[in-house]
Amino acid sequence: MSLQDKYAELIATGNTLGIANWQVREQDQVLYLDGTAKSTADKDKLWEVYGKLDPDFRSADVVMNIAIAEGAVREYTVVSGDSLSKIGKAHGVSWQKIYEANTDIIKNPDIIQPGWKLKIPTA
């Protein structure tokens, strides 16, 4: 069984998600998957499928080099005790960028509420 057969679901998921510049190649008993995801969520979906196929990631027969498109956003759910600066520090982006990306939700940058789903821009 080739690695492309073994990981057919992972390859199909990349195709379905529309991973840009999606390249799949086998070399020296390793499957290389390269491309650019539209979002962090899409990249995470690829890792979820891979984790399902190789739960402990012990096979060491896949290398995924998946970048995230510039301007992509992640989603974060505010929890009690959060502030924009704390969230920004955790995600490597300024609180101002988070505020600007969420002016439809946040009216005052000093007041955010648990449960809000904020867009976190990539750096």
CA 122 to CA 98: how far, in whole Å?
A: 10
CA 32 to CA 71: how far, in whole Å?
A: 25
pLDDT digit string, tens, across residues 15-50: 999 999 999 999 999 999 999 998 878 898 999 999
For residue 114 the two structure tokens come to 């648990």
- Give the phi and the psi of residue 104 in degrees, each rounded to 5: -70, -20
For residue 20, list its beta bridge partners.
Answer: 36
Q: What structural domains and CATH numbers belong to the chain?
A: 3-68 (3.30.70), 73-121 (3.10.350.10)
Band the pLDDT of 123: cuts 50, 70, 90.
low
pLDDT digit string, tens, across residues 61-81: 999 999 988 766 788 999 999
Q: Give pTM, 2 decimals.
A: 0.61
